[in-house]
Structure 1
Amino acid sequence: MPGKYDDLTKSQLIELLEKRDRTKKLGLVWERDELEADAAVDENFIACEIIPELSDKPAPWKNLVIEGDNYDALRWLRMTHAGKVKCIYIDPPYNTGNKDWVYNDRYMDADNRFRQSTWLEFLFRRLALARDLLTEDGVILVSINDEQRALLELLMDEALPGMRIGTLVWRTRTGGNEGREAFLSDNHEHILAYGQRGFRFAGTEKSFSIYSNPDNDPRGDWTKGDLTVSVGFRDPRAGKGYYPLVDPETDIHYPCNPDAVWRYASRKASGADARIKTKFIEEWIELKQIVFPTEQRVAVWHTMEELLEAIEDGEVPTSGRSPTIRKDLPDLNYWIGKKVGFGTPRFKRFKDQLRNPTSPLSSWITPRSEIDTQDSSDNSIVSGTNDEGAKAIKSIFGEKSFNYAKPVSLIRELLRQSTSLDDLVLDFFAGSATTAQAVMELNAEDSGDRRFIVVSSTEKTADEPDKNLCRDVTAERIRRLNLSSDPKYAELIAGFAYLRTKDVLFEDIDYDLAPAEAWTALEALHDLALTHYNAELPYNVHEGEAVTLVLVDRFDSSLISWLKGRERHNLFIYAWAPGLIAQHLDSGAFDIRSVRETLVKGFQQ
């Protein structure tokens, strides 16, 4: 019987062994063929063709709707949009085994002992590609149910190492008494957040009610803050933070909490030559930013016996219930004869010196129906439930044309937290285009210029060969919003190019890649809105604000005339045979590039 590895070459066997040596022994394990997975990325070249009759609004188009397998679409996007996407939101199939997803027959095999492996591999390949699309401060947000959350989180740890931020919890519905066998409600889902190092949620506006200026400080409103850090005095990290703090105006001495030393070092304790990153406590005192207690108990122990008796009786300063002067602490003699304060010095924090103008995002998303019935001050996101998503679909299409649509409010608020006014948003499980509508609503609200790319397949089957989810639901929802006379949709406008993926063998690129498809890829590569390609012209030109793009299909002397006096900075000339173009131009003065080499190199990065 032939072995599993008989058909592999020596180099493939070595590569497989090296990968196994690098594989972590602890973590999620699923059945996968690494060689096949690596080969699949570059199995063929992917082109995208603009379908004019399915696109909406006149060109140029900033937004894209892509019809095709999202694995193919992601491979094309990695070539054209690597490092450009600020936020990726996806609501992938939950691998329930139900027949509400066209891939279930391929990725969910109940008889397979590794029945989850195909689902995990399906997502792993797509997440690994999606990672390369993120900006340096980008984020991926993924919706998932309770049943699959643990597996998906481990998978994302593998696909997006070091990027885990945390989890948001969203109530999918309110009410209902179903609690299953254990009487535990599952009326919630999770949104897993994985981001690049530079990513931060916007947060929620801080309340400044705690700030005031009772002493008319010229530096403005302030509040009292903690002056300690949670480090014990024996901990090496405590440094020079364990010392008595003295109020120079009253000569009252304050013992340091041995379990939480002072935040700032003392110059006296550190030495005159010490260097620190911030100010010494003596400097803060001089700046009047240490607030000493004004009404407090003050004690003086004249002998060691008096002090030890006070410690025994619990008549010493405390932090919470813990005494700050104990028998086991060093240098008890220091406290003999001193005025000792029982209060706690605090740090004066000014409103104008706040590091962050907002508070962190809460991990709990408040249902809109409960906003008036609970304290939601910490819940930055307020969202509708699944019921809202169903109603939105019906209001746009007049019928329930898509199941399990997320509410627009949920995705809109996630995007509000995750994007700025001109960022790019991607959803490669677009379904009913809720993400696109969320971008449109947010732009209408804050006059933003966010763009979206949504990817959806046809989901046609042998039983439904004419089905086209992308055309009839994903793109159609955006078209209807663009045309809607409903007042609540009046401000929602987003033209888009409708693209369809196409397979091309690498060896046939020169023959099978149409100039229009190359033009689309090059425009996207240079961050230009997409335009129609005119095949009748010998060369096409797109002059953007920052870049000028030229695609030469066949040389024409008019190109030389057009280039005379043209600003050559950020002017890119592409040709199928760049050498022939260079013969007619000063190749040292112009950036002339090969169409084939540029696209293939970008595709196989």
Structure 2
Amino acid sequence: MAGKYDDLTHAQLVELLEKRDRTKKLGLVWERDEIEADAAVDANFIACRIDEALSDKPAPWDNLVIEGDNFDALRWLRMTHAGRVKCIYIDPPYNTGNKDWVYNDSYMDKEDRFRQSTWLEFLYRRLTLARDLLAEDGVLLVSINDEQRAFLEMMLSEVLPGMRLGTFVWRTRKGGYDSGNFSRDHDFVLVYGKPAFEFHGTDKNRSDYSNPDNDPRGPWTDDPLQQPKTYRQRKNAVYFITDPETGIDYPPNPNRVWSVGQRGDSGLTESPWEDLLEDNLLVFKKRGQYVQYDTLDELMSAFRDKTAHKFARVDLPNIEDWVGRKIGLGSVRIKKFLKDRCDDEVNPISSLLDGITTEESLSVEVGKTTEGTREVRALFGESTFDYPKPVSLIRELVRQSSGPGDLVLDFFAGSATTAQAVMELNAEDGGSRRFIMVSSTEATDDAPDKNLCRDVTAERIRLLNASDDKKYANLAEGFAYLRTHEIAFEDLDYDLQPADAWAALEAMHDLPLTLYDGNAPWNLHEGETTALVLVDRFDPGLLEWLQGRDRQNLFVYAWAPGQIVERLDGTHVDIRPVRDTLVKRFQQ
């Protein structure tokens, strides 16, 4: 079939392309080279190598700290952790131009006319990779300031179409203000969730449930017996409900009349108030308090004096029936029992982070930036990182976004606040959340020896693990320290080290990382449900070990599978090629 452009001349095609380039599209546009961007993802292979000396606590390691460009780290993680991360929190550079962002080994110049586009493209490439890491019930949380928020939101909507849930607002400081007598002391956390994601919410407050009348159905509270209709809209809902114990009649609120009918009404679909009364479901407020108008003139006089009952109106359809009755001063409500409430019924969390609720106080205040600075100074003895987020902020976000066994990623880890938040939550509820912290060295021409990842990101976790401060008790979490390095695809057969392949395979199979034993002919990692083997060279002990093994969750890899299979003496084992497996996963 001929293409739609086959009949166009060269000049017409050029004109069509120029028109397309001139045409504005709905959304955010920035300067980018799509071909170059696509090529960058698969320009080379990324391996991660464990540095045992910089790792903390003995192996196996459930947590990872990765040193390197986060673009490279994310490419490795997409190979090893695709679809498994429950919560990604990042605090990316805000692109202020005030030495907050190292790009191409130097700080971005705020006078650069392409600064915004460079920043957007920088984040776009990384967020596109991060998208593939999210679990089906995962969420991405991104901190940003007011100046860059609009750009970032529109870009994120391109990266994650249909996933925007909203924005949290949190107060970064107190008392600050800028020009125009307008305070800019708030930052934002953008929220993008996969279809199955939900925040945990907060427990409903059940303190208003009690059982003063010893109702056999258990504790109860009372709800309104009203509907959002006025006495003019629902004239048939304007009647008295009588308390048989006191003989007092209760009129409806004329602006919100009764939501139930009375016996004799036609078309009733729910129980009339008389049945509710017999079932001991009605509650009479201000019981025993009433007013009485013995004549219509007395009632009209009360209208003129503005002392009439609060629910009285001159044009009520039953105004004459008010005469000679004891008119209750309270209202009538209906019992709602605690046993009928859903066990998982929760309140949604507010977009204002100053008021995340807890079981005890219903109001825990998220800290300001100064709290984050104090926390870093308390551990390091000095301010080693500018404007760190407070642990309380990240802790509550992670608490709401993850469960006790989930994986949390921060690929702009900075001072490792996210790692501390995860550690605090695990200490609090006994959970086994895991973290992956990615941070670069941020070395520049002016500071070639700088290593933020080693000296701040990882060091903060080490200090927490070693601290004897009571407030950090039970926080210890070991981690493997890895470095990214690039390998040309054509050089993989020679340059990919067995230890690097072992780390990637363990991560792919959701196993904690261990150190590779280069002296052993084959390495084994047996998890609770998975057995992983990497064969470097054949050894008769492998055949003996394979006898009678359950093949369902057994994964055997080798550099030259065919040669190993020949030596297995007919033992049927699926042996996968190391190089081809990793490359296929890497280029997915």
Question: What corresponds to 1:31 in structure 2?
Answer: 31
- Would the alpha carbon gap of residues 379 and 559 (structure 1) be closer, same or farther in structure 2, given more than 3 Å must change? same
Question: What corresponds to 2:94 in structure 1?
Answer: 94
Question: What corresponds to 1:583 in structure 2?
Answer: 566
Structure 1: distance between partners of 2:159 and 2:559? 36
Structure 2: distance between partners of 1:424 and 1:391? 27
- Would the alpha carbon gap of residues 347 and 107 (structure 1) be closer, same or farther in structure 2, given more than 3 Å must change? farther
The answer to whether the Cα contact below 8 Å between 1:444 and 1:491 also exists between their aligned partners in 2 is yes
The answer to whether the Cα contact below 8 Å between 2:101 and 2:107 also exists between their aligned partners in 1 is no
RMSD over aligned CA atoms reads: 4.8
| Cα displacement (A) at 1:434 | 1.3
| Cα displacement (A) at 1:446 | 2.0
| Cα displacement (A) at 1:196 | 2.0
Question: What corresponds to 2:147 in structure 1?
Answer: 147
The answer to whether the Cα contact below 8 Å between 1:108 and 1:116 also exists between their aligned partners in 2 is no
* Corresponding position: 1:495 with 2:478: yes
- Alignment-mate amino acid for residue 515 of structure 1: P
- Alignment-mate amino acid for residue 408 of structure 1: V
The answer to whether the Cα contact below 8 Å between 1:244 and 1:253 also exists between their aligned partners in 2 is no
- Alignment-mate amino acid for residue 364 of structure 1: L
Question: What corresponds to 2:220 in structure 1?
Answer: 222
TM-score (norm 1): 0.77
- Alignment-mate amino acid for residue 221 of structure 1: P
Among 336, 340, 349, the residue aligned to 1:353: 340
- Alignment-mate amino acid for residue 140 of structure 1: L
- Alignment-mate amino acid for residue 172 of structure 2: T
Deviations 1:387-441 (A, max 9, x none): 1221222222222221111122221222222222221111100111111122222
| Cα displacement (A) at 1:363 | 2.1
Question: What corresponds to 1:395 in structure 2?
Answer: 378
The answer to whether the Cα contact below 8 Å between 1:171 and 1:367 also exists between their aligned partners in 2 is no
Question: What corresponds to 2:115 in structure 1?
Answer: 115
Point out the more displaced range, 62-71 or 37-46. Answer: 37-46
Structure 2: distance between partners of 1:231 and 1:520? 66
Question: What corresponds to 1:440 in structure 2?
Answer: 423
| Cα displacement (A) at 1:83 | 1.7
* Corresponding position: 1:459 with 2:421: no
Deviations 1:12-41 (A, max 9, x none): x9xx99xx89x9932222222222222222
Structure 1: distance between partners of 2:480 and 2:517? 16
- Would the alpha carbon gap of residues 253 and 62 (structure 1) be closer, same or farther in structure 2, given more than 3 Å must change? same
Question: What corresponds to 2:301 in structure 1?
Answer: none
- Alignment-mate amino acid for residue 354 of structure 2: T
- Alignment-mate amino acid for residue 558 of structure 2: A
* Corresponding position: 1:479 with 2:475: no
The answer to whether the Cα contact below 8 Å between 1:202 and 1:418 also exists between their aligned partners in 2 is yes
Structure 1: distance between partners of 2:377 and 2:466? 16
Among 404, 418, 421, the residue aligned to 2:404: 421
- Would the alpha carbon gap of residues 216 and 397 (structure 1) be closer, same or farther in structure 2, given more than 3 Å must change? same
Structure 2: distance between partners of 1:249 and 1:367? 42
Structure 2: distance between partners of 1:245 and 1:34? 71
The answer to whether the Cα contact below 8 Å between 1:62 and 1:451 also exists between their aligned partners in 2 is yes
Structure 1: distance between partners of 2:88 and 2:216? 46
The answer to whether the Cα contact below 8 Å between 1:44 and 1:503 also exists between their aligned partners in 2 is yes
Question: What corresponds to 2:511 in structure 1?
Answer: 528
Question: What corresponds to 1:182 in structure 2?
Answer: 180
Structure 2: distance between partners of 1:595 and 1:257? 77
Q: Secondary structure at the match of 1:117?
A: helix
Structure 2: distance between partners of 1:506 and 1:469? 29
The answer for unaligned runs of 5 or more in structure 2 is: 1-9, 231-235, 291-308, 322-327
Structure 1: distance between partners of 2:223 and 2:104? 55
Deviations 1:532-569 (A, max 9, x none): 10111111000111100001112222210111122322
- Alignment-mate amino acid for residue 222 of structure 1: W
The answer to whether the Cα contact below 8 Å between 1:423 and 1:451 also exists between their aligned partners in 2 is yes
Question: What corresponds to 1:236 in structure 2?
Answer: none
Structure 2: distance between partners of 1:318 and 1:160? 54
Structure 1: distance between partners of 2:266 and 2:575? 66
Structure 2: distance between partners of 1:94 and 1:456? 16
The answer to whether the Cα contact below 8 Å between 2:138 and 2:193 also exists between their aligned partners in 1 is yes
* Corresponding position: 1:408 with 2:391: yes
> What does 1:127-166 correspond to in 2, within 5 Å?
127-166=127-166
Structure 1: distance between partners of 2:492 and 2:523? 20
- Would the alpha carbon gap of residues 475 and 110 (structure 1) be closer, same or farther in structure 2, given more than 3 Å must change? closer
> What does 1:503-522 correspond to in 2, within 5 Å?
503-522=486-505
The answer for unaligned runs of 5 or more in structure 1 is: 1-9, 233-241, 273-278, 298-316
The answer to whether the Cα contact below 8 Å between 2:164 and 2:192 also exists between their aligned partners in 1 is yes
- Alignment-mate amino acid for residue 57 of structure 1: K
Structure 2: distance between partners of 1:596 and 1:366? 50
Structure 1: distance between partners of 2:341 and 2:200? 15
Question: What corresponds to 2:305 in structure 1?
Answer: none
State the percentage of identical aligned residues.
Answer: 61
Structure 2: distance between partners of 1:151 and 1:190? 13
Q: Secondary structure at the match of 2:354?
A: strand
> What does 1:10-29 correspond to in 2, within 5 Å?
25-29=25-29
The answer to whether the Cα contact below 8 Å between 2:439 and 2:453 also exists between their aligned partners in 1 is yes
- Alignment-mate amino acid for residue 463 of structure 1: D
The answer to whether the Cα contact below 8 Å between 1:292 and 1:346 also exists between their aligned partners in 2 is yes
Deviations 1:279-298 (A, max 9, x none): 9999999987787999999x
Looking at CA atoms only, which structure, 1 or 2, has the larger radius of gyration? 2
Deviations 1:172-224 (A, max 9, x none): 1223xx42220111122111222223322233333223223355433222223
Structure 1: distance between partners of 2:61 and 2:281? 55
Deviations 1:37-86 (A, max 9, x none): 22222221111111111111111011100000001111111111112112
- Alignment-mate amino acid for residue 363 of structure 1: S
Structure 1: distance between partners of 2:384 and 2:62? 27
Structure 2: distance between partners of 1:215 and 1:545? 54
* Corresponding position: 1:364 with 2:345: no
* Corresponding position: 1:598 with 2:581: yes
> What does 1:229-378 correspond to in 2, within 5 Å?
348-355=335-342, 356-366=344-354
The answer to whether the Cα contact below 8 Å between 1:245 and 1:256 also exists between their aligned partners in 2 is no
- Alignment-mate amino acid for residue 209 of structure 2: Y
TM-score (norm 2): 0.79
Structure 2: distance between partners of 1:579 and 1:122? 43
The answer to whether the Cα contact below 8 Å between 1:367 and 1:384 also exists between their aligned partners in 2 is no
Deviations 1:506-535 (A, max 9, x none): 232222211111100010111111001011
- Would the alpha carbon gap of residues 582 and 259 (structure 1) be closer, same or farther in structure 2, given more than 3 Å must change? farther
Q: Secondary structure at the match of 1:561?
A: helix
Structure 1: distance between partners of 2:573 and 2:251? 73
| Cα displacement (A) at 1:598 | 2.0
Structure 1: distance between partners of 2:171 and 2:397? 14
Structure 1: distance between partners of 2:147 and 2:570? 60
The answer to whether the Cα contact below 8 Å between 2:56 and 2:478 also exists between their aligned partners in 1 is yes
| Cα displacement (A) at 1:504 | 1.5
| Cα displacement (A) at 1:91 | 0.8
Structure 1: distance between partners of 2:571 and 2:242? 73
Structure 1: distance between partners of 2:163 and 2:526? 37
Structure 2: distance between partners of 1:82 and 1:203? 27
| Cα displacement (A) at 1:587 | 7.9
- Alignment-mate amino acid for residue 454 of structure 1: M
- Alignment-mate amino acid for residue 146 of structure 2: D
Among 201, 204, 210, the residue aligned to 1:203: 201
